[in-house]
Amino acid sequence: MARVLLLIPSRTYRTHDFMEAAARLDVEVVVGSEHRSALAALMEGRQIRLDFHDVEGSTRRIVAFAQDHPLSAVVAVDDAGTVLAASAAEALGLAHNPVDAVEAARDKACMRQRFQAAGLLTPRFRSVDFDEDPIAVATTVRFPCVVKPLDLSGSQGVVKADDADDFPDVLARVRSIVAACQRDGVRPAVLVEDFIVGEEVAVEALLRSSEVDLLAIFDKPDLLNGPFFEETIYVTPSRLPSERQADIRDTTARAARALGLTDGPIHAELRLNDHGIWMLELAARSIGGLCSRTLRFGPGISLEELILRHAAGLPMPAHDREGGAAGVMMLPIPTHGRLKVVEGQPEAKQVAGIDGLVITIPPGEQLVPLPEGDRYLGFMFARADSPAAVELALRQAHAKLRILTDG
């Protein structure tokens, strides 16, 4: 039986789907986590306490564990574990991405440099140290621009500045968000880059011996023009012409090569306009949140099953995406306050095409909108005959939800 170490951060939506996929494949799972897992009672002897920030020390712990319990693969379920997964797999002689490639994918400035060197269209950018004067920095950038952290995800801390007058306040806000997320008191730089006008798409793919196995292209029908960049609807298959989709696939492959990634899932974000296809970001992990539930392949295979099959060297069946269209809405958090209840859920689920609704923040928890927040209220799913019908179902169902808060 294959044995896979899953690196599961304390705050992730992905645990259930990966565990369910492992059970279907009869793969033994070992959980590597920063804290004692809620699965601890079921995982006796198959759980390792790890510090994802201490890559060297945690790699040693994984190697020591593997001496008595040989591993077939090390898989990170979210961004936080990708560098450790590469390091541990390298130490164990397992298939892996080069560590420096994963580090580049986690550092947006390094990523931009590699995209630029490879001749990809990518925003003009510069790093700004924490002690640099905002007014002086404003004279060196073009407006509108986007200010963002180097290593956060999910649009947390990403803010658009329209002009030099806005810039000092925007920079101060992003710096504050970044500082609040640091554990060690380090005051890292932030990235300032050109704002690229255009429609945005996301790509889900699997790298197999450096070759891109394209799994899905998602359209994002809501324009992301700032000042914040809260993503909402993803719909697949894309409504773009087939030639444009082929160009998106090729651009994603070039970006993966530019970073040096060779193995495992990737998730990319690109913008399209009259100048061409702009490579925004590419992560060495699969799509975040519960969004993978939109994807089914072949005879009902999940994205997590494909990832585990590939990682553990199990047979890979035919996996064309299922027919029809599918989509997800990441439910935005509209305002600060303590959540009381989300009303209208039964009515939303009755909308034709709606395939599921999961509220991921329980009543009583504080709601924090972007850009300070790092979570969505939940996820809503739809399936229909066409992308347009999926989008319409998600919008109609969302209109039936009412979010009640205290304060």
CATH number at residue 23: 3.40.50.20
- Is residue 161 domain-resident? yes
Render pLDDT for 25-51 as a digit per residue (tens, 0 to 9). 999 999 999 876 555 545 666 899 999
- Place 144 in a pLDDT band, splitting at 50, 70 and 90: very high
pLDDT recorded at residue 10: 79
Whether residues 17 and 49 share a domain: the answer is: yes
Whether residues 93 and 152 share a domain: the answer is: no
pLDDT recorded at residue 295: 97
- Structural domains in the chain (count): 3
- Is residue 345 domain-resident? yes
Q: Taking 60 as the threshold, does the pLDDT of residue 13 lie above it?
A: yes
Contact 132, 138 (CB under 8 A): no
Render pLDDT for 246-278 as a digit per residue (tens, 0 to 9). 999 999 999 999 999 999 999 999 999 999 999
Residue 400 CA: distances (Å) to CA of 96, 328, 343, 348: 45, 16, 8, 6
- Is residue 277 domain-resident? no
- Place 184 in a pLDDT band, splitting at 50, 70 and 90: low
- Is residue 311 domain-resident? no
Domain encompassing residue 370: 324-407
User: Domain end: 179, 194, 209, which one?
Assistant: 194
Indicate the SS3 state at residue 244. Answer: helix
- Is residue 337 domain-resident? yes
Helix (H) or strand (E) holding 201: strand 199-208
Whether residues 92 and 144 share a domain: the answer is: no
CATH number at residue 344: 3.90.1170.50
User: Domain end: 147, 174, 194, which one?
Assistant: 194
CA distance 87 to 82: 9
- Is residue 229 domain-resident? no
pLDDT recorded at residue 41: 47
Whether residues 19 and 94 share a domain: the answer is: yes
Q: What is the DSSP letter of 320?
A: P
- Is residue 115 domain-resident? no
Summarize the confidence of residues 398-407 as an average pLDDT: 93
pLDDT recorded at residue 35: 75
- Is residue 246 domain-resident? no
Whether residues 404 and 328 share a domain: the answer is: yes
Whether residues 86 and 138 share a domain: the answer is: no
CATH number at residue 161: 3.30.1490.20
Whether residues 14 and 96 share a domain: the answer is: yes
Render pLDDT for 302-341 as a digit per residue (tens, 0 to 9). 999 999 999 999 999 999 999 999 999 999 999 999 999 9
Whether residues 133 and 95 share a domain: the answer is: no
Summarize the confidence of residues 270-298 as an average pLDDT: 96
Q: Which of 288, 243, 282 is nearest to 122 (CA)?
A: 282
Indicate the SS3 state at residue 49. Answer: strand
Whether residues 374 and 405 share a domain: the answer is: yes
Whether residues 399 and 329 share a domain: the answer is: yes
Render pLDDT for 341-383 as a digit per residue (tens, 0 to 9). 999 999 999 999 999 999 999 999 999 999 999 889 999 999 9
Render pLDDT for 189-245 as a digit per residue (tens, 0 to 9). 999 999 999 999 999 999 999 999 999 999 999 999 999 998 899 999 999 999 999
